Amino acid sequence: MKYHYTDLENCHAATGLVVVVDVIRAFTNAAVVFSRGAKEIHPVGTVDEALDFKRQNPDVLVCGEVGGIPPAGFDFGNSPTHTHGLDLDGRIIVQRTSAGTQGIVRSTQADRIVAASFMVAGATVKYIQRLQPDEVSFVVTGFTYDGGEEDQACAEYMEALLRGGLSDVKPFLDRVRNSHEGRLLRESAMPHAPVSDLEYCISANKFTFAMPVTRENRHFIMRATDPTHADSGLT
């Protein structure tokens, strides 16, 4: 495999299997959403898209943030701490975030897309190994937002595993703690971003599912998937 790194400004050109990484906090939160029983997540790019989807489908729940804060009309935000307390069994979730979901909707040349964070890093690697793509492109979404070290660390950890290298995750998690976004979480006194969110973000390999994204009827759909069963890719 060949490995490439890109960001939100350039991911429109990423090809092959594209791994969109957002550790703090979008795809950590997405992993928790699935752990709470959600059926699927629809990533979108804008608040209006999210709310329009809810108006047309009143049973869905909308989550995410703008500037870290849940917009008016959203059912919950981007905090895995808060999400962990929800019953989402069988629910369809629409997610809009400033970095993670942007990486999905902007990766227009991808053959396949999978969303990733440390919580599902090991399962994501198994998913990639199952597919054996020629190219893997990591979208380090945080680079566009005055940081990105936490996403870079997660991507490099997955690459190391794919290459059959080191398995010690601690140095990579230390980079998350010491990242710009990690420090902001530690110092935050805001109810929408409790310091406990950081512990979720550094919970490596917590879940055994991967989070591939397909495109169906012009909508992106993310599902929790057994990594040994590869999907058919984007349609």
* pLDDT tens by residue, 170-222: 999 999 999 999 998 988 778 899 999 999 999 999 999 999 999 998 899 99
Main-chain dihedrals φ then ψ at residue 101, nearest 5 degrees: -70, -25
Torsion-angle region of residue 205: left (phi > 0), alpha (psi -120 to 50) or beta?
left
Report residue 47 as tokens. 């608040």
The rounded distance, in Å, linking the Cα atoms of 82 and 85 is 6
Task: For the chain, state the CA radius of gyration.
Answer: 16
| 205, two tokens | 């390999």
Share above pLDDT 70 across residues of the chain, in percent, rounded to a whole number = 96
Average pLDDT over residues 75-87: 98
- Domain boundaries, given as residue ranges, for the chain: 2-222
Inter-residue contact 83 to 200 (CB < 8 Å): no
2-222 CATH fold: putative 2-phosphosulfolactate phosphatase (3.90.1560)
- In the chain, what is the straight-line distance between the N-terminal and C-terminal CA atoms, in Å? 23
Q: Pairing between strand 92-96 and 2-6? A: unpaired
